[in-house]
Amino acid sequence: MVCAVDAGLPASGGSAFFALAVDETMTKDKVRVTDLAQMKAERTPIAMLTAYDFPFARIFDAAGVDVLLVGDSLGMVVQGADSTLAVTLDEVIYHTRMVARARQRALVVADLPFLTYQVSVEKALANSGRLIKEGGAEAVKLEGGITMAETIRRMVDIDIPVMGHIGLTRQSIHRMGGHRVQGRRSGKTAGCRERLLEDAVAVEHAGAFALVLEGIPAELAREITERASIPTIGIGAGVACDGQVLVMHDVLGLSESFSPRFAKPYAHLWREASAAATGYIREVRERAFPTPEHSNDTKRA
């Protein structure tokens, strides 16, 4: 969108259209796709978290997270499935809309689910467009390296910003034989070390603005990060990436028992939510809640 500042027009006193454009999309702090390259150049680590609904997106945005990812991990952590494969485009759009409504500062990136972009470039373009038009995403993420390069190029050609994702790509669970660390073996076949180096170059050359490195050895992630001019964002990929991403449930301790080794819980919300629910149930059974103060005819002090 043309903005008053870029167009050399007064930011105020012009038409309502230009005033709105400046207020809503060009606020000083807003993180844009182009800012991530700047952050890499300045060696400012990029903090990215997944989010799937309004309240958590609001909390993370207000806390200052740079990127909110509406990941297809929602299939596992929100829907309770054992893989991401069944997630649909409509479901990602539904969750992206909630996250986008909460966004003030963070860049909102939405995942293209399995088979919404691998089948044809045309499908990839149309489905990415839906994430942006209907969901309110500012960029999309897709999994794959060399084999996705042409698709990424065509998306970038029509100004759809693309975040790449290589390594332990969950949509390839059947090829990988489970959620397994990639890049340990040497070779040029999918998931091998040299192939991942080539995948990273292909994604960068195709025009992606950033690259998620998931589940690969730390020294391989370091090598990719040093060679790449675009920022790398790691998850289970060591300490050398330009940024980090975690699934919000792992950061907040929102899973019943499982916590991946690469993640760090900064809270234990499952425990707290469970204690809150137990307390509520007990008080209802004991008629300790509600008390007269909770009834509508009691005026609050």
82 to 101: interface string for ligand KIV, x by CB under 6 A: --------------------
Exactly one of 206, 210, 241, 247 binds ligand KIV (CB under 6 A); which one?
247
Q: How far is the CB of 71 from ligand KIV (least distance, A)?
A: 2
Does residue 225 touch ligand KIV according to CB under 6 A?
Answer: no
39 to 68: interface string for ligand KIV, x by CB under 6 A: -----------x------------------
Does residue 250 touch ligand KIV according to CB under 6 A?
Answer: no
Return all residues near 160 (Cβ < 8 A) that are at least 6 apart.
Answer: 125, 128, 129, 132, 139, 140
Measured from the CB atom, the residue of 11 and 240 that comes closer to ligand KIV is 240
Does residue 242 touch ligand KIV according to CB under 6 A?
Answer: no
Does residue 142 touch ligand KIV according to CB under 6 A?
Answer: no
Q: How far is the CB of 99 from ligand KIV (least distance, A)?
A: 12
Q: Which of 91, 138, 143, 214 is catalytic?
A: 214
Measured from the CB atom, the residue of 18 and 170 that comes closer to ligand KIV is 170
Does residue 176 touch ligand KIV according to CB under 6 A?
Answer: no
Number of residues that bind ligand KIV (CB under 6 A): 12
The percent of the chain in helix, strand and coil, each rounded to the nearest 5, is 45, 10, 45
Catalytic, 219? Answer no
Identify any residues that bridge with 163 across adjacent strands, giving them in sequence order: 141, 210
Amino acid (one-letter) located at 141: K
Does residue 245 touch ligand KIV according to CB under 6 A?
Answer: yes
Give the residue closest to ligand KIV by C-beta. 71
Supply the DSSP string of 183-195, one letter for each residue.
S-S-SSSTTSHHH
Extract long-range pairs of 232-236: CB within 8 Å, 24+ residues apart: 232/200, 233/46, 233/48, 233/67, 233/163, 235/262, 236/168, 236/181, 236/260, 236/261, 236/262
- Please report, to the nearest 10 degrees, the dihedral formed by the alpha carbons of residues 14, 17, 20, 25 taken in order: -110
User: What is the Cα–Cα distance from 91 to 79, expressed in whole angstroms?
Assistant: 10
User: What is the Cα–Cα distance from 10 to 3, expressed in whole angstroms?
Assistant: 10
Exactly one of 18, 73, 114, 220 binds ligand KIV (CB under 6 A); which one?
73
User: What is the Cα–Cα distance from 227 to 205, expressed in whole angstroms?
Assistant: 12
Measured from the CB atom, the residue of 89 and 235 that comes closer to ligand KIV is 235
Does residue 210 touch ligand KIV according to CB under 6 A?
Answer: no
Site residues, ligand KIV (CB under 6 A): 50, 69, 71-73, 111, 165, 212, 214, 235, 245, 247
Residues taking part in catalysis: 214
